[in-house]
Amino acid sequence: MPHQDSKPLIAAIWMIGAVASFTSMAVAGRAVSLELDTFEIMAWRSIVGVLIVVSVLTLRRRWHVVDFRHPLLHLGRNLAHFTAQNLWFFAIASIPLAQVFALEFSSPLWALLLSPLFLDERLTRARVLSAFLGFIGILLVAQPGVTPLSPGLVAAAVAAIGFALTYIVTKRLTGMTHILCIMFWMTVMQTVFGFVGAGIDGSVAFPSAAAWPWVALIGAAGLCAHFCIANALSVAPATVVMPFDFLRLPVAALIGLLFYDEPVGLAIILGAALILTGNWINIRAEARPR
Question: pLDDT band at residue 289, thresholds of 50, 70 and 90?
Answer: low
Residue 290's pLDDT is: 56
Residue 218, classed as helix, strand or coil, is: helix
Burial per residue of 181-193, b for 16 or more beta-carbon CB atoms within 10 angstroms, e otherwise = bbbbbbbbbbbeb
Residue 5's pLDDT is: 58
Chain centre to alpha carbon of residue 166? 9
* 66-75, 246-255, 258-267: which is most confident: 66-75
As a whole number of angstroms, the distance between CA 2 and CA 283 comes to: 16
* Terminal-residue alpha carbon distance, the chain: 16
pLDDT for 35 beyond 90: yes
Q: What is the mean pLDDT of residues 208-231?
A: 91
Percent of the chain with pLDDT over 90: 47
**Whole-prediction pTM:** 0.86
Residue 278's pLDDT is: 85
Closest CA to 85 of 228, 194, 217, 230: 194
pLDDT for 123 beyond 80: no
Residue 1's pLDDT is: 40
Residue 169, classed as helix, strand or coil, is: helix
Residue 106's pLDDT is: 86
Q: With contact defined as beta carbons under 8 Å apart, do 217 and 25 qualify?
A: yes
